[in-house]
């Protein structure tokens, strides 16, 4: 055990508490210091498992150090540093606390060596990240946060059920690659995929992230989905079902991003698209594919945070996030445009930027395994990324129709954060070797062969041509697009309305019949039974004989007699005898 052994999560959790004691300047230093210190701590971690503890008769471990967990640890802390630099202007302790605890939990999940610890951090992530949406303090944000946490609780419960069944079946809490296909592993897989935003449990992402605060959105993009990618790599590498899930996500993200009008929602869908690539890598499962998925997650976290920062800067300066309200911003926000474009080109895996040195690894791994369909779909998706995130986002936000907005550049610390991430995008694109060195498996991959680079340029530039030729079809409209959240947003309302109609209808029907009408009939009858029986008999007699002439007169006679109780004694005696006879027959037979 090294002398500097410290759990990186601990720094974040302690930081989240310290935040409440410090004045503003101290807090600003603290939020930059925590991720920087955590990064240093991770560089010093030696392979092995630490912080073992004993719970419920199981040996658990909070810190598993290997190349895979370290790679995610590095990028999580680097990104945290950039995000907190971006969020330096915030004065509220509340948001920073949630962010620190959230990132700490994500690191905890990545380093957890057993399923129980993983689950604990997993749920802390869900809860703390919800506060980043709530902090927006709008009605829409409250609604989105509620739905967000409900979906994550559902996913978390699937995971918990899976974990319990798995422990019961295998007797082990270790979190390693799962090989047995069965209910426990499927439930765990569903739990992981819910956090990875795989359809149909994808809509929380495009629903909640765009409703988060300017800085909260930036922070959230990196952790939940990428922690899920990490757990999929750890647990489900080589599961072929993930090829299908990944391909669906890659295409789904593009199509919905093209339909979108809100710039941050476009970026949210492009997360889905990019996570699709990573999940395909996990599904392929070879060492090149796994390293490719890790590398792509690494690059993605950085360029996606950069994209969200540039969108966040626009939102911060203009208060608007819909493409129809924006446009023409290049005039007064050139630096934001440049940084945003670097992110956009990186996500499109433009040569000399970071996506280009990571994504082709996944595609090439698929080709090595002879997965034609995976190759085809990922190539189509690669072209499509350039379409929606690479061109559409910068074009409609910074160019297109000028809506007369003239905001200035965002504050300097925001520009600095974007510059830092832009530098990383270019650095990893030009010189990816440091990244390749930290990947779980050694990589023999050369992105910059002449024909590969040329073909990538061809693919992307002709995608751009398609974009500009079909621009009239891509005109933005003031609309939202339905996604699978329809089922719990409208669907739940329909369900409640349906239940209301059925059960409350049944209830009021029962009330009408049994509480009002039947007792009323009885009440009318028993108010004067003798008169009612007689009147009814007279009526029946008249109907049987067909002679109605005396009906009303006889009825009046009955009424008259009843009013004065003027019945002959013989009639009463006859009735008494009759009832006695009936009773004796019933009783004695």
- Could you list the residues that contact another protein (CB under 8 A)? 254-256, 258-259, 330-334, 367, 372, 375-376, 379-380, 383-384, 386-387, 399, 402, 406-409, 450-451, 454-467, 470, 473-474, 477-483, 489-490
Contact 151, 224 (CB under 8 A): no
- Bridge partner residues of 406 (DSSP): none
Least Å from the CB of residue 270 to another protein: 13
Least Å from the CB of residue 131 to another protein: 23
What's the rounded Cα separation, in Å, for the pair 418 and 340?
Answer: 8
What's the rounded Cα separation, in Å, for the pair 351 and 343?
Answer: 13
Least Å from the CB of residue 381 to another protein: 9
Q: Residue 163 or 317: which CB sits closer to another protein?
A: 317
Q: Residue 77 or 456: which CB sits closer to another protein?
A: 456
Residue 573: how many other CB atoms lie within 10 Å: 10
Contact 147, 484 (CB under 8 A): no
Least Å from the CB of residue 385 to another protein: 10
Least Å from the CB of residue 143 to another protein: 8
Least Å from the CB of residue 331 to another protein: 5
Q: Residue 475 or 512: which CB sits closer to another protein?
A: 475
Q: Residue 444 or 451: which CB sits closer to another protein?
A: 451
Q: Residue 94 or 352: which CB sits closer to another protein?
A: 352
Least Å from the CB of residue 195 to another protein: 24
Tokens found for residue 13? 């959790």
Tokens found for residue 88? 């330096």
| H-run or E-run covering 135 | none
Least Å from the CB of residue 349 to another protein: 12
Peptide bond into 200 cis (omega under 30): yes
What's the rounded Cα separation, in Å, for the pair 227 and 243?
Answer: 19
Q: What is the biggest distance separating any 2 CA atoms in the chain, rounded to whole angstroms? A: 123
Least Å from the CB of residue 459 to another protein: 4
Q: Residue 167 or 387: which CB sits closer to another protein?
A: 387
Find how far residue 17's CA is from the centre of its chain.
28
Where are the alpha helices (H) located in 45-114, listed in sequence order? 67-86, 93-111
CA angle 300, 305, 310 (to 5 degrees): 130
Q: Residue 490 or 524: which CB sits closer to another protein?
A: 490
Q: Residue 409 or 559: which CB sits closer to another protein?
A: 409
Contact 194, 121 (CB under 8 A): no
The SS3 of residue 237 is coil
Of 22, 84, 71, residue with least CA distance to 42? 71
Q: Residue 302 or 387: which CB sits closer to another protein?
A: 387
Q: Length of the chain, please?
A: 589
């Amino acid at each position: 055990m090294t002398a500097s052994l410290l759990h990186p999560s601990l720094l974040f959790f302690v930081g989240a508490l310290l935040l409440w004691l410090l004045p503003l300047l101290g807090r600003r230093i603290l939020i930059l210091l925590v991720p920087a210190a955590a990064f240093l701590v991770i560089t010093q971690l030696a392979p092995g498992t630490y912080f073992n503890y004993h719970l419920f008769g199981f040996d658990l471990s909070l810190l598993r150090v290997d190349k895979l967990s370290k790679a995610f640890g590095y990028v999580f802390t680097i990104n945290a540093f950039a995000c907190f630099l971006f969020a330096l202007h915030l004065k509220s302790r509340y948001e920073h606390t949630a962010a620190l605890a959230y990132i700490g939990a994500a690191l905890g999940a990545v380093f957890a060596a057993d399923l129980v610890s993983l689950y604990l951090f997993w749920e802390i992530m869900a809860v703390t990240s919800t506060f980043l949406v709530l902090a927006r303090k709008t009605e829409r944000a409250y609604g989105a946060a509620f739905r967000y946490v409900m979906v994550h609780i559902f996913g978390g419960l699937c995971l918990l059920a899976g974990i319990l069944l798995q422990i019961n079946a295998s007797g082990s809490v270790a979190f390693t690659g799962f090989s047995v296909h069965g209910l426990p592993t499927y439930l765990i897989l569903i739990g992981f995929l819910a956090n990875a935003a795989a359809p149909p449990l994808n809509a929380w992402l495009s629903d909640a992230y765009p409703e988060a605060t300017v800085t909260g959105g930036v922070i959230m993009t990196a952790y939940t989905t990428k922690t899920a990618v990490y757990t999929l790599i750890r647990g489900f590498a080589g599961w072929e079902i993930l090829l299908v899930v990944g391909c669906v996500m890659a295409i789904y993200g593009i199509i919905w991003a093209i339909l979108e009008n809100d710039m941050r929602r476009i970026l949210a869908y492009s997360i889905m698209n990019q996570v699709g690539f990573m999940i395909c890598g996990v599904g392929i499962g070879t060492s090149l594919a796994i390293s490719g998925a890790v590398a792509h997650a690494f690059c993605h976290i950085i360029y996606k945070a950069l994209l969200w920062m540039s969108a966040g800067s626009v939102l911060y300066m203009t208060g608007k996030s819909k493409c129809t309200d924006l446009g023409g911003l290049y005039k007064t926000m050139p630096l934001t445009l440049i940084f945003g474009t670097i992110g956009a080109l990186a996500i499109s895996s433009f040569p000399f930027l970071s996506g280009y040195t990571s994504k082709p690894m996944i595609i090439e791994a698929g080709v090595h395994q002879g997965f034609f369909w995976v190759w085809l779909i990922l190539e189509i998706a690669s072209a499509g990324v350039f379409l929606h995130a690479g061109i559409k986002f910068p074009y409609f936000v910074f160019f297109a129709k000028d809506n007369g907005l003239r905001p200035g550049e965002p504050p300097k610390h925001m520009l600095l954060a974007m510059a830092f991430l832009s530098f990383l995008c270019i650095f990893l694109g030009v010189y990816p070797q440091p990244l390749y060195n930290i990947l779980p498996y050694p990589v023999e991959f050369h992105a910059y062969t002449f024909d590969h680079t040329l073909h990538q340029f061809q693919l992307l530039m002709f995608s751009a041509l398609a974009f500009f030729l079909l621009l009239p079809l891509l005109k933005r409209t003031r609309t939202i697009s339905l996604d699978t959240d329809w089922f719990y947003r409208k669907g739940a309302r329909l369900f409640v309305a349906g239940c209301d109609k059925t059960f409350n209808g049944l209830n009021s029907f029962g009330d009408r019949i049994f509480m009002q009408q039947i007792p009323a009939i009885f009440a009318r009858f028993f108010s004067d039974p003798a008169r009612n029986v007689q009147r009814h008999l007279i009526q029946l007699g008249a109907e049987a004989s067909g002679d109605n002439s005396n009906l009303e007169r006889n009825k009046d006679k009955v009424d008259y007699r009843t009013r004065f109780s003027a019945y002959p004694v013989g009639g009463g005696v006859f009735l008494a005898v009759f009832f006695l006879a009936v009773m004796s027959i019933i009783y004695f037979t």
